[in-house]
Every structure is written in structure tokens, then in C-alpha cells.
Chains A and B, each alone.
Chain A
Amino acid sequence: MNWDSKHKKTVYILSAVLMVDFIYLLISGGTDYIERIIIGIAINIILALGLNLFSGLTGLFSLGHVGFMALGAYISSILTLPLQTKNANLPDLPGWLAHVQLPFFPALILAALVTMGIAFLIGIPLMRLIGPYVSVATMGFLVITQVVLTNWDTFTRGARTFAGVPAYTSWWNAWLWALFVLYVVLRLKFSSFGRSMRASRDNTIAAESIGIPIVQSRLLAFCISAFITAIGGALWAHFIRAFSPKSFYFAQTFSVITMVIIGGLGSVRGSLAGVVFVTVISEILRNLERGITLGVITIPPMYGSSQVIMALILILMIVFKPTGFFGETEWKARDVIRFFKGFFSIISKGNNGGH
């Protein structure tokens, strides 16, 4: 039962090894690399919280949120593309779009609003479905966006790379958005809306009988979470600056899901932990994947191995600790104090052992 205490030592040793490796990566990568990781974490927090808001509150699991991310990314990029690049890359755009070049903030908001509108439209039929059907139907939505993005050359350059997106995302605006989203999601979780959603997740019939409008509130949660995810997608687009429809498919879906599930579905702090965990692990794995030389032994590049390991981690997590690191709980001041107390006691013990 008590998984934590039994395997604590192994977990500590493993994480120590990983941290050393990661710090080595950071030092050898330089400030640019560190900044990229910091921005990446902020964007992943937005994406994970977007999914967590919907799935944690409603108990329905969306496999299509990366579709919203893609919409946010493409719409915001089309709106902000410098006119010259736009004429060269997307020559067939209709006039009203061809001559438009918006600043970052309005483009971001507009992209998120349009995405929210689309989420509203597809949410009307989807939110009436139960459990697994929602997951499959949202995955259907992901396939639809993929097909449309790959074929609608006029707006998206089709399967080719969409490049030349201005680099508007910086560490401070990414983190500003991340903190804003964090605040909104936490407030929503403990609002009367959030509580009634969680009630209807745990017992639909009972919730319905006390007058909670289930379909409408699910739809609302879906729309808000699509808005957040689109913001994340737009920030990602202006961070990466060149992408193709393939960037928004199952690999990305899987990575966001892993973050949310490892931390604990429904827990905001869980998502934060999951994001940091997955970001760090996948940076390390990506380095290993390219192949490394350890003295005389050379490990050849093995593409796909990082995903294989992530999938294993997720399966093991679901089998041994299905609620993730944190279940559905949030931090309280008390826990923070206890954490530091424990931390210092471990350190002082370690010192005593050394003498």
C-alpha cells in the first residue's frame, strides 16, 4: 500500500542521478538553453492546466486538446506574420487576411477566442456523450484538424513547414500567462462552478437530481479549457517559430497527457510537478536518443526510444500509483512548512552520518 515509503530511497537516488545529468546539460547548454527550458516549462504548464481544467473537473478525458493548441498556433501565426513573409509564403490568402499584421496580444486573444468558438460548436454534440465516447470523439476532432491543416494550403501551407513566425514569446510573457492561467484554474476549481462539476463527475445522477445543469457546465469547462490551450499553442508557435501540422499530433498529445496524469488528474500542483518532471526527463532522453559516447562505449542513436521510455513511465504510473503524485490535492501552507522541516531534517541527518 505505502508505495512512497517503500521506494523512497530508489526514487531519491534515481532523481539525484537525473538531476546531476540535467544540471550538466544546463551548464553545457549555456544561457540560451536554460532560457528555452524556462519558457518551455511555462508553455507546458499552460497546456497541462488547460487539459487538467476540463478533464479534472468533468472526469471526461479529452484526447483532442492538441487540436486546440494547433488552432491557436496557426491562427495567431497567420495574424502576426510580417506582410512581406505573408505574401511570399501564403500568396493565396484572401484580401482581408493578406493585409493584416496584428501585434502579439490582440492576435493571441483573437486566436484563443476563435478556438473557443470552435470548441463551443463541437462541444454541443460531444458534451452529451458519456465517458470513453468523449475521448474517441475528441480524438476524431484531432484527426479532423490534422486533415484540415495538412490540406488547406491557402492558410496553412499544407504539410510544409510554416516558418517565419515572429519571436514574440519571451520568458516573462510566457510566465505571466502561466501564472494567470494557474490563478484562473485554481479559482475555478474551488468556485461553486468547479465544485458542482466535480460533484457531477463523481455522481452524475445525484448531481443532476440536485439541479446541476451537467451538459451546459461541461460545455463551459470545455470552452474555457480550449481558450487556455489555444493561448498555450499560440505562445508555443511564437517560441518555436517554425512548425508543421505533424507538430500537433499524437506525440504532442501524449506528452501533455503524461504531464497531467503523472502529477495527478485534477490537481493543479500535480500538473506543475508533472510538467517539470516530463520536461526534465524528456530533455535528458532526447539527448540520449541522439546517441552518446561514454568513454569507449558508443550508444548509437535510437530514434523513438525517448517515447518508449515515457510510455513505460506512464504505464507504470497508472499501474502502481493511478492517482499520480498528488491525487487531487493542492498545497496548503501547512504542507509547505512540513516539507521544509523534512528537508532540513534529512540534511542534518546526512551531516551527522558523515561524521
Chain B
Amino acid sequence: MQLEYLVQQIINSVSIGSLYALMAIGLAMVFGILRLINFAHGDLIMVGSYATLLLNTLGLPFWIAALLGILISGLAGVVMERVAYRPIRGASDVAMLLTSFAVTIFLENLAVMIFRATSRPFASPVILSQVVKFGGIRVSSLSLISIGITLVLLVLLTIFVKRTETGISLRATSQDLIAARLMGINVNRIIVTAFIIGSVLAGVVGVLWSARVGKIDPLMGFQPVLKAFVGSVVGGLGSIPGAILGGYLLGIMEILLQALLPSNLAPYRDAFVFIILIILLLFRPNGILGTTAKEKI
């Protein structure tokens, strides 16, 4: 019984960690290239979820609606880059940060205007809400599907980043944007690519997250993305492996806190997550996999 409980919890934390990892990758890619903390990443999750829900209620089958929703989320990411972030490229860190915060406020309130602030039920197909039994272990099919989809995406992403020319250019740009441009890399194209990948992943997270929670609202993306950002900071900001590591660590931490915290402290779980981040930053300001970038004088 104890062992089964443990396995169940591990699968649980890996599945939630997968979602955080997918979010963290999108954040890390953009941060690695532009030094931009894209708070509005969470709103891409929201866009993907609402698009899926709307298309589904219009009569499209769930999976097609989800696929289109993910594509719409990717499109929204490209538009966001073009309209809001390209005009301020090269501005100070603070200017970029505040722009992304303003974009978040803009999109969230636009969603409140269009869809109202109240949450809506997110109906997902039966296959996502079943309980699978292996001996005494009971896990939801959604957890397994989340883990599976994430694994496939991670493999694809690794091949893309390591093997394709665009992927190599992407890594080069994230190491040194100016040098990459001097080597003839079309930096604009690379940045758009990073946004497309990040926002498509956000769309995937949107569908899986909404299926998990069962309802969606205009502010649904903000808190998870903030936590994913915490994860990517812990893992080593700006590096994709760091983001993945951080995302899974975050998932494990959340489930551990849920299991270990006494019931009267349980509502404080999110507070503990952030406290642990602040403590971790005290010892490793650049994250676990992060390297100290020496500033040139």
C-alpha cells in the first residue's frame, strides 16, 4: 500500500512537472535570446484554452478543436512578438519587463471584456478523465497522456535544437545575439521561431491544464506561468535543460508539499513554493545549471 501510494504520487508529480517544464521551456527560449521575461506567456495558455473551448462548442470534435486551439495560441505568440516586443527590442530590461506585464494586463482584461471574469467549465473527452489501474496503482489517464505528450515534444525539441540548422542558429543567437547576427543569422526569424515554439507549447499546456482543472477563466495562465518561471530560475534561467529540470523539480516540490504539509498549512502551498525559490536563490543565484556570466568591463 505504501509503495503503491508512493508510485502514484511520483506519477502525479511527473505529470504536473511535465506541464511546468513545457511552460518553462517557452519562457527560457525567449529569455535566453531577448532577456525578456514574458509574463504574457500565461495568456497564451489562456488563449489556447478559450480557442479550444469555443471551437469545441461550435461543434468541432475535441481533438481537432484542441489542435486548432494550439495553432491559434502559436499565432497569438507571433502577433505578440511583432506588435509589442519587436518595437522595444534592445530597450532596457525594465522596459521589456514592464511591456510584458502591460501585455498581460491588456490580454487578461480583454478576455474579461469578451468572456466575463467568471470561469467556464471545460469539457474534455472521457478518455482524459478515466482512472487507469496497474495492480493497486491508480492514476488518471490524463497524467499518463500528459507525460507521454511531453516526452514526445521534448524529444522533438531536442532533435530540432541539436540537429537542424534553425535550431543551431537558435542556440547561437541565445549565446550572443550580436555575434550571431554578424555570422549572417537572420535574428528576426530566429526570434519568431522561439516565440512560435514557446507559444505552441503554451497551447499544449493550455489544453492539458484545462482538462486537468476542468474550468477556465481569463486569469488562469498567470499563476502557473509565474511558478514555471520560478522553476526555470531554479534550474538555470535561459537554458532549455535548466528549464526542463526546474519544471520537474517544481512538480515534485508541489506534490511533496501537498503530501507533507499538515492540513492547516496546506492552503499555503504556493507561498512555500516561492519561499523555497527565494532561499535557493540565496545559495545559487544563477540556478542549478546556470553558469555565472562574467560581465565584461
Contacts and interface: CB of A to CB of B under 8 A. Distances in A.
Interface stretch (A6-14, A313-321, A340-348): A313-321
Interface in B64-104: 84, 87-88, 91-95, 97-99, 101-103
Interface in A119-155: 122, 124-126, 128-133, 135-137, 139-141, 143-144, 147-148, 150-151
Given A150-B267, A314-B102, 10 more contacts: A125-B281, A126-B281, A128-B282, A133-B281, A136-B229, A140-B230, A140-B274, A261-B98, A304-B108, A308-B110
Contacts of A137: 277-278, 281
A55 B101 CA distance: 16
Contacts of A305: 109, 113
B103 A311 contact: yes
Contacts of B285: 128-130, 133
Main SS of the interface on chain B?
A: helix
A322 interface: yes
A63 interface: yes
B91 A318 contact: yes
Interface in A266-316: 302-305, 307-308, 310-312, 314-315
Given A136-B230, A144-B275, A318-B99, A308 B113 contact: yes
A40 interface: no
A23 interface: no
B109 A147 contact: no
B279 A125 contact: yes
Main SS of the interface on chain A?
A: helix
Contacts of A310: 105
Interface in A235-280: 250-251, 254, 257, 261, 265
Contacts of B271: 143-144, 147-148
B267 A147 contact: yes
Contacts, number: 133
B165 interface: no
A98 B223 CA distance: 35
Contacts of B282: 124-125, 128
Interface of B: 31, 35, 37, 84, 87-88, 91-95, 97-99, 101-103, 105-106, 108-113, 116-117, 222-223, 226, 229-230, 233, 237, 267-268, 270-271, 274-275, 277-279, 281-282, 285, 295, 297
A329 B29 CA distance: 37
A144 B277 CA distance: 11
Residue of B35, B92, B94, B117 with most chain A CB atoms under a 10 A cut-off: B94
A162 interface: no
A140 B229 CA distance: 10
8 A-B pairs with the lowest CB-CB distances in the bound complex, closest first: A304-B112, A311-B106, A304-B109, A140-B274, A307-B109, A125-B282, A147-B271, A151-B267
A307 B111 CA distance: 11
Nearest to A122: B278
A59 interface: yes
Contacts of A68: none
A311 B105 contact: yes
B94 A126 contact: no
A61 interface: yes
B103 A315 contact: yes
Contacts of A125: 278-279, 281-282
